[in-house]
C-alpha cells in the first residue's frame, strides 16, 4: 500500500476538497486524483463519492479512515524512532575497566542528558566488531584494528592512545622504579591471563614482545582481575601490563605499584570504528570530546606497525 496515497486520502477526507488536499500536500490536484484512484484500485473499493460541492466519504471510506490515520501515526513513529539522535548512541567499549569505557563515562558525566548506551561486545575480535558496526548492532566500537583490515563503509579514527604501564607487587625488584624502559623488562616474566588468540590485544602483545624481546604469556587459568591482583601482591617475580587509564581496584594492603614505561612509551591505539556518514549527533559530540580531552601524547610513542594512524 502506498503510504503517500493513504496520506492524500486522509487530507481529502479532512478537507472535503481535492484542491485543499493538494495545497496542504504541496502537489497538484491531478496528482491527488491519481493517488486516490490508485488507492481505490488497490483496495478494490470506492473511498470517496464525488459531488458538485467536493467529495464525501463512502461507507467504505468511513470504515477505512480511522485505520488510515493509525497507519500514518505508525509511519511517523517509525520514522522518528530512527531519526538521528532519536535513539541512544550504542557504543561498544570492549571492557568496562579499560580506558575507552572511562573516557565514554567522563563524556557522559560532562553532559548527563546525553542519549547514550555503553555496551561490551567482549567476545568479538576487532574484525568481527567492525562488521557488527557495519550491520548496525552498534553505532561505534573502540578497537585496535589494522588499517588494512578496516572494511568499506567503516571509518576508523584513532582517538585514544593509552600508555602501557607495568603493574607489580611490593616485593618485585622493579617495585621502586620511577619509570622503566620496555627493553629493560627482558628476562622478567609478564603475565597477562585471558589473552585469546585472534584478538587485537593478542596481536598487540605479540608485536610488543617481538619489538623489545619480552616474555609475555597467558599461561594458567584466568580467575579474573581480583585474582590477578592477589597473585601480584604475593609475588616477587610476576608482573603484568595495564593501560594508564584502566580502572583496577585492590586492597590497600596489596601495595601494588604502577610503573610508567618510557623510551619509548608503548601505547595501546584505541581506535573508534563507526559507519561512514553516520549523522547521529551524539557520535559527533563524542568524537569532538575525545579530540579535545585526549591527554598529551608522549614524544616517544611506540605502537605496532599495523595500527591505524
Q: Domain-by-domain residue ranges, the chain?
A: 3-82, 89-307
The pLDDT value given to residue 81:
65
The pLDDT value given to residue 122:
65
Give me the phi and psi of 192, to 5 degrees please: -125, 85
Class of domain 3-82: mainly alpha
pLDDT tens across the length of the chain (309 residues): 899 999 999 999 988 889 888 988 899 999 999 999 999 999 999 999 988 777 889 999 999 999 999 998 888 878 766 666 668 899 999 888 889 999 999 999 999 888 899 888 866 788 889 999 998 889 999 999 888 889 999 999 999 999 999 999 999 999 999 999 999 999 999 999 988 888 888 999 999 999 999 999 888 888 888 999 999 999 999 999 999 989 888 999 999 999 999 999 999 999 999 999 998 999 999 999 999 998 788 889 999 999 887
C-alpha 292: how far from chain center: 19
The pLDDT value given to residue 123:
60
The pLDDT value given to residue 198:
84
CATH number (3.40.190.290, 3.40.50.150, 3.90.1170.50, 3.40.50.11740) of 89-307 reads: 3.40.190.290
- State how far the alpha carbon of 272 is from the alpha carbons of 48, 54, 143, 277, in Å: 55, 59, 6, 14
* Pick from 252, 223, 256: nearest CA to 240: 256
C-alpha 60: how far from chain center: 49
The pLDDT value given to residue 58:
92
All three cell numbers of 220: 594458567
**DSSP characters over the chain:** --HHHHHHHHHHHHHS-HHHHHHHHTS-HHHHHHHHHHHHHHHTS--EEEETTEEEE-HHHHHHHHHHHHHHHHHHHHHHHHSTTSS-EEEE-S-TTSHHHHHHHHHHHHSTT--EEEE--TTS-HHHHHHHHHHTS-SEEEE---GGGPPTTEEEEEEEEEEEEEEE-TTSTTTT-S-B-GGGGTTSEEE-TTPPTTSHHHHHHHHHHHHHT-EEE--S----HHHHHHHHHH-SSEEEEEETT------GGG--EEEEB-SSEEEEEEEEEEETT---HHHHHHHHHHHHHPPPPPTTEE--TTS--
Amino acid at each position: 500500500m502506498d503510504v503517500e496515497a493513504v496520506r492524500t486520502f486522509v487530507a481529502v477526507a479532512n478537507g472535503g476538497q481535492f484542491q485543499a488536499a493538494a495545497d496542504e500536500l504541496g502537489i497538484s490536484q491531478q496528482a491527488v486524483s491519481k493517488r486516490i484512484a490508485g488507492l481505490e484500485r488497490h483496495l478494490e473499493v470506492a473511498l470517496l463519492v464525488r459531488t458538485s460541492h467536493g467529495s464525501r466519504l463512502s461507507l467504505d471510506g468511513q470504515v477505512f479512515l480511522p485505520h488510515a490515520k493509525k497507519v500514518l501515526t505508525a509511519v511517523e513513529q517509525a520514522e522518528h524512532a530512527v531519526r538521528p539522535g532519536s535513539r541512544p548512541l550504542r557504543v561498544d567499549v570492549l571492557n568496562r575497566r579499560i580506558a575507552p569505557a572511562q573516557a565514554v563515562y567522563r563524556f557522559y558525566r560532562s553532559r548527563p542528558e546525553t542519549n547514550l548506551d555503553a555496551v561490551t561486545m567482549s567476545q568479538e575480535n576487532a574484525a568481527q566488531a567492525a562488521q557488527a558496526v557495519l550491520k548496525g548492532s552498534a553505532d561505534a566500537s573502540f578497537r585496535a584494528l589494522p588499517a588494512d583490515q578496516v572494511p568499506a563503509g567503516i571509518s576508523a579514527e584513532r582517538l585514544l592512545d593509552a600508555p602501557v604501564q607495568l603493574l607489580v607487587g611490593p616485593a618485585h625488584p622493579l617495585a621502586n622504579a620511577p619509570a622503566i624502559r620496555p627493553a629493560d623488562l627482558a628476562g622478567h616474566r609478564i603475565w597477562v591471563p585471558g589473552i585469546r588468540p585472534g584478538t587485537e590485544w593478542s596481536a598487540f602483545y605479540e608485536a610488543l614482545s617481538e619489538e623489545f624481546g619480552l616474555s609475555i604469556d597467558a599461561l594458567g587459568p584466568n580467575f579474573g582481575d581480583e585474582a590477578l591482583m592477589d597473585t601480584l601482591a604475593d609475588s616477587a617475580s610476576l608482573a603484568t601490563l595495564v593501560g594508564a587509564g584502566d580502572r583496577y581496584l585492590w586492597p590497600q594492603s596489596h601495595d601494588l605499584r604502577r610503573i610508567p614505561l618510557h623510551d619509548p612509551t608503548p601505547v595501546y591505539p584505541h581506535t573508534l570504528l563507526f559507519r561512514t556518514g553516520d549523522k547521529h549527533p551524539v557520535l559527533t559530540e563524542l568524537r569532538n570530546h575525545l579530540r579535545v580531552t585526549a591527554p598529551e601524547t608522549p614524544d616517544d610513542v611506540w605502537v605496532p606497525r599495523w595500527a591505524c594512524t
